[in-house]
Structure 1
């Protein structure tokens, strides 16, 4: 069975309405090109650290972004991984939360980003400390969909292979990876890490990144990509907003797992 999947790349700004308009246009493009699954990037709705808390409080009141995502999935008849949106945590911080919607608009579940990016990378921003604003999630998300079992990870999670191995224990078939990798780290590590996660877990990875200049200090690396279970790059973006679509063969993936049963060979 051949399945079309889409990684949507954005250059989100501080203007919510413009970001939502761009997200819908790209989801519509994905649907028109036959995608049955589309993945939005991290922080697709708003790329602005100072305003993110305000957006989280508003979302707690009216769930407008969740409604927006649900309606997109239903309107364009595809499974939609809603990048991340901010949801208030009990300690006053925020969960970076990825909601997943079925083609009928029903919410299939959500994932809260577990690993938080507290690092110095030597770019214009210099120092990142997500844990000041965000609270870590504490549970995996591998969700049943009509296309198979869908696992969700977000951005910095990509550097922690044990998270993905735990998804393999839950028989994951597809991994969606909404991200906003910095340019310096992304150009060095993004594609090798995405390919590694696909190869070692023998599943397709749909990795949707931010890809451009967001303000004077923040640049993201782009390169949104679909990688199959053999590690082949099926489609890849450069910089700028856009939609990359690829078809992967679910039967070929299942056959690979039988020929090379990595999951059964584990010892540690």
Structure 2
């Protein structure tokens, strides 16, 4: 199964970002992919919350989502939008991912569970909880590439989420991101490979890259990793579209040789001695 993965430097103009996404849908379909994966915050990267507020819509009004749904239907391609900034019915914001089928229908939604609040030695400060409301559930959805477990960026650091997804039958773990450069250089590859190995699953991690219009810098290195932990694709730091083949036989082989998923047991109560 061939998939496509988009690595981009999304900016502050949703129309420009939508054009990039729709072009990627067309290119992915022309390249023979069955599904396209895009990064976190594919529709808008803008840390100026006052300015960004003018470009945030309810799901049924979001122009980026509408454009990608139309492109998916036109080119008969499944698309995983890593995430968009969406205004919820209660007026709060969600960092929400979407799985769209080849007719443009939304098959699944996922709101980021774990929010990133931190002050970095570089002077950067992030307060996702000041803007977003955390999600409340995990999602596995059937796609042409397999049973897809959806997560977003900082979720990567919480392996119990991925255990829940693979327990629910996920064979592919999507981890779209906008990782900062210091944490990306230190942890991105090792954590993604660990999630693939411990879950005996493919990992598809579409990432933002480069210096964005709002001044932030992201790490790039969109990755596709097989269930043995081998990197099938590393896109480095340049924006663009990449392709990878996911072999279901490789997944079955790994799960036969290392049947750890079958050996999982409920975690017993921890006794503090």
- State the TM bucket, normalised to the shorter chain: over 0.9
Partner residue in 2 for 1:173? 171
Distance 1:182-1:63 versus aligned 2 partners, 3 A rule: same
TM-score where L is the length of structure 2? 0.91
Displacement, 1:151?
0.8
Q: Give the match for residue 237 of structure 2.
A: 239
Q: 1:24 to 1:122 in 2, by over 3 A?
A: farther
Query: Equivalent residue of 2:2, what SS?
Result: strand
Paired residues for 1:16-165 under 5 Å: 16-49=14-47, 50=49, 51-56=51-56, 58-60=57-59, 62-89=61-88, 92-123=91-122, 126-165=124-163
Secondary structure of 2:66's aligned partner: helix
List per-residue Cα deviations over 1:197-245 (Å, max 9, x = no partner). Answer: 1111011111000000014641000000110111111111111311121
Q: Distance in 2 between matches of 1:65 and 1:136?
A: 22
Hey, what does 2:224 align to over in structure 1? Answer: 226
Within 1, Cα distance between the matches of 2:162 and 2:60?
A: 33
Instruction: Tell me by how many angstroms 1:90 deviates.
Output: 5.5
Any unmatched runs of 5+ in structure 1? none
Closer, same or farther in 2 for the Cα pair 1:144/1:88, shift >3 Å?
A: same
Describe the SS at the equivalent of 2:261: helix
Query: Aligned in 2, Cα 1:55/1:159: closer, same or farther, shift over 3 Å?
Result: same
The structural deviation recorded for 1:187 is: 1.3
Query: How many angstroms apart in 1 are the aligned matches of 2:12 and 2:106?
Result: 27
Cα separation, 2, equivalents of 1:28 and 1:187: 31
CA distance in 2, matches of 1:60, 1:204: 29
Contact 2:119-2:125 within 8 A present in 1 as well: yes
Question: Aligned residue for 1:255?
Answer: 253
Q: What secondary structure is seen at the aligned counterpart in 2 of 1:13? A: coil
Comparing 219-228 and 25-34, the one that deviates more: 25-34
Rounded to whole Å, the distance in 2 between the matches of 1:14 and 1:85 is: 13
